[in-house]
Amino acid sequence: MIISGKELSTRLKQQMREQVAGFPAEFGRVPHLVVILVGENPASVSYVTGKAKASEAVGIRNTTIRKPESISEEELLSLIRELNADDGVDGILVQLPLPKHISEDKVIATIAKEKDVDGFHPLNVAALWQKQPCTVACTPKGIIRMLKEAGVQIAGKRAVVVGRSNIVGLPVSKLLLDENATVTIAHSRTADLASVTRSAEILVVAIGRPRFITADMVSEGAVVIDVGVNRDPETGKLCGDVDFQAIEPKASVITPVPGGVGPMTICCLMENTIQCFLDRMER
């Protein structure tokens, strides 16, 4: 079974559209997401465009602020502070990566926790690890949603997450743990990675290496979630971290790249924006 993140996200966005359509009557306006793009990195430009399109599809107001690569850290931080103070803004997202002269940590920590739609703020991360209400990072949230929609039982399963980044590997491991999976986190220093990945009933791969996970590294019947977004070095086409062609016949459930985790990430960004809006309206 191939889980289409594209189809699922289209369905979820339609439901959100209906929800958002009722907001002007109830709250006087729709949620407002501000996305800040620094520089012209083509991947970032395309992500920001995707976020604007999804906002439009859901009926969320989207403002994209473009700043030159030369913007100073202080200028960017003061823009964020202005948006924090703006009552008409519900969500703030600074597209990463940022130029080297700007500290991503400082930028993330400057965004008000209540407007942190990416769920990267240290207070949101701390709340996730303490099982407190919080905004959960979009990619991990989308992965759990996909597993549930596909009817995968997570509780009691052996889950292996390859990758331990702050934005994917660590939070998805915590969410799997919260769903009562038995979780192993593997990384670049893991010894005999293939035997670890073969032990997985649910395998989540987020490493950023084209088709790194080969068929011999996956057990028959495993559920395989491919987070990677890479360019195939030969064809230049998008591909995942998993060798989809070889693994698809073996896996019970698998996600494609493109059209898998990516669209669900954007979908969860829309959900987070609506949640931040509703939390602010209720306060």
- 228 is a site residue for ligand NDP (CB under 6 A): yes
Cβ contacts of residue 158 below 8 Å, gap of 6+?
181, 182, 184, 199, 200, 201, 202
- 255 is a site residue for ligand NDP (CB under 6 A): no
DSSP secondary structure code for residue 242 in this structure: B
Contact 34, 55 (CB under 8 A): no
Strand residues in 152-278 grouped as ranges (E): 158-162, 182-186, 202-205, 223-226, 230-231, 238-239, 253-254
- 162 is a site residue for ligand NDP (CB under 6 A): yes
Whichever of 30 and 140 has its CB closer to ligand NDP, that residue is 140
Residue 189, helix vs strand vs coil:
coil
- In this chain, which stretch among 34-42, 57-65, 122-130, 161-169 interacts with ligand NDP, using CB under 6 A? 161-169
Residue 73, helix vs strand vs coil:
helix
Q: Which of 13, 90, 116, 118 is catalytic?
A: 118
C-beta of 256: minimal distance to ligand NDP in Å?
A: 11
Residue choice 33, 161, 213, 227 for contact with ligand NDP (CB under 6 A): 227
Residue choice 154, 213, 261, 274 for contact with ligand NDP (CB under 6 A): 261
- 208 is a site residue for ligand NDP (CB under 6 A): yes
- 173 is a site residue for ligand NDP (CB under 6 A): no
Q: Is 15 a catalytic residue?
A: no
Contact 61, 91 (CB under 8 A): no
DSSP secondary structure code for residue 201 in this structure: S
Binding positions for ligand NDP, rule: CB under 6 A: 139, 162-165, 167-169, 186-190, 193, 206-209, 227-230, 261-262, 265
Active site residues: 51, 95, 118
